């Protein structure tokens, strides 16, 4: 793919509302330069981490993986990146977690395949791809470029940006892909089980808080939501000034049983009604 083609795709990604965290190891390094060299990178890239050593990867995953370069590791990295993006993103913005782990050509011959695994995680979708490269066909730099192209396309797809280009793979190097879609109930189950940190319902979409760097969070059970809750957050917002006001429903409480999916949805409906009334 030409430099102009790469730039056009990156510009489309930066124009989308999606904010991303990338965890990359063992390849696809060129994508960092592509994303950061095009104006608007701060609209998209929240953080990029390269856990290159074994110890760095172990600390990132908080475990020793059965294989450092595997589909499972790429999925774990993408989920961790997604949760990190939830914490760093502007409230209400769609977020993306990206995981990549590769075993490419190096200074020493490899006994195993030259391969890489990549994964993207959004609120409602987990996508994973595995590519096995032909040994001896490319240099390390060329393998890195191929993996960077494929990862760029995956990020573009997750951001809903059209990206059609030649990845550089041969006919025998077809990627093996799988995808899982999540509905709201499944996402809330993941929340209760601790897989994802939180889920955002941006009901007050008519309020422009894009420049707010801080959040005001009022946590509680909200069973039921009442005027006192609304007044508390209103007073806090007036004191703190430029900050994004948020209510937090505690799905898992140390002193009470976790809420069920239906209980969470019922309590969220209260905020939806108030939010729609204020738009």
Residue 210: the pLDDT is 55
Q: Is the pLDDT of residue 111 over 90?
A: no
Q: Is the pLDDT of residue 211 over 70?
A: no
pLDDT at 207 (0 to 100):
54
- Position 171 confidence tier, pLDDT thresholds 50, 70, 90: confident
Q: In the chain, what percentage of residues exceed pLDDT 70?
A: 95
In terms of pLDDT, which residue wins out, 255 or 47?
47
Extract the tokens encoding 113: 């395949």
Distance in angstroms (rounded) separating the CA atoms of residues 197 and 253: 14
**Of 218, 273, 263, nearest in space to 240 by CA:** 218
- The pLDDT-based confidence of 164 (bands split at 50, 70, 90) is confident
Query: Residue 165 above 80 pLDDT?
Result: no
Phi, psi values for residue 268, rounded to 5°? -65, -35
pLDDT value at residue 167: 78
Q: What is the DSSP string of 185-253?
A: HHHHHHHHTTSSS-------TTS--TT---EEEEEE--TT--HHHHHHHHHHHHHH-S-EEEEEE-SSB
pTM, full prediction:
0.91
Angle at 117 between CA 177 and CA 92, to 5 degrees: 80
- Give me the pLDDT at residue 37, please: 97
Give the range with max mean pLDDT: 113-127, 155-169, 216-230: 113-127
Paired sense of beta strands 114-122 and 215-220, if any: unpaired
Q: What is the mean pLDDT of the chain?
A: 92
- Decide: 216 and 240 in contact? Cβ < 8 Å: yes
Whole-Å CA distances, 56 to 3, 86, 210, 268: 32, 22, 34, 39
Distant-in-sequence, close-in-space partners of 279: CB < 8 Å, separation ≥ 6: 204, 205, 206
Q: How do residues 238-269 score in pLDDT, each as one tens digit?
A: 898 778 888 999 999 888 899 999 999 999 99
> Is pLDDT larger for residue 109 or for residue 6?
6
Mean pLDDT along residues 19-31: 97
């Amino acid at each position: 793919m030409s430099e102009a083609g790469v730039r056009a795709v990156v510009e489309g990604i930066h124009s989308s509302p999606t904010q991303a965290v990338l965890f990359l190891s063992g390849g696809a390094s060129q994508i960092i330069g592509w994303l950061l060299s095009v104006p608007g990178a701060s609209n998209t890239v929240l953080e990029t981490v390269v856990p290159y050593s074994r110890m760095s990867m172990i600390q990132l995953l908080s475990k020793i993986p059965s294989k450092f370069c595997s589909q499972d590791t790429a999925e774990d990295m993408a989920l961790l990146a997604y949760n990190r993006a939830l914490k760093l993103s502007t409230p209400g913005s769609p977020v993306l977690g990206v995981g990549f782990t590769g075993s490419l050509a190096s200074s020493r011959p490899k006994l195993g395949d030259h391969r890489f695994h990549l994964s993207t995680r959004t609120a409602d979708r987990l996508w994973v791809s595995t590519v096995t490269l032909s040994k001896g066909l490319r240099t390390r730099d060329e393998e890195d470029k191929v993996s960077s192209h494929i990862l760029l396309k995956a990020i573009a797809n997750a951001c809903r940006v059209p990206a059609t280009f030649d990845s550089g793979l041969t006919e025998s190097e077809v990627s093996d892909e799988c995808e899982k879609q999540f509905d709201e109930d499944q996402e809330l189950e993941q929340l209760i089980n601790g897989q994802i940190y939180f889920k955002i319902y941006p009901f007050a979409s008519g309020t422009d808080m894009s420049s707010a760097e801080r959040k005001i969070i009022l946590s509680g059970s909200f069973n039921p939501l009442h005027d006192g809750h609304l007044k508390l957050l209103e007073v806090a917002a007036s004191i703190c000034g430029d900050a994004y006001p948020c209510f937090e429903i505690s799905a898992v409480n140390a002193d009470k049983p976790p809420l069920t999916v239906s209980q969470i949805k019922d309590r969220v409906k209260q905020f939806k009604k108030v939010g729609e009334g204020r738009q």
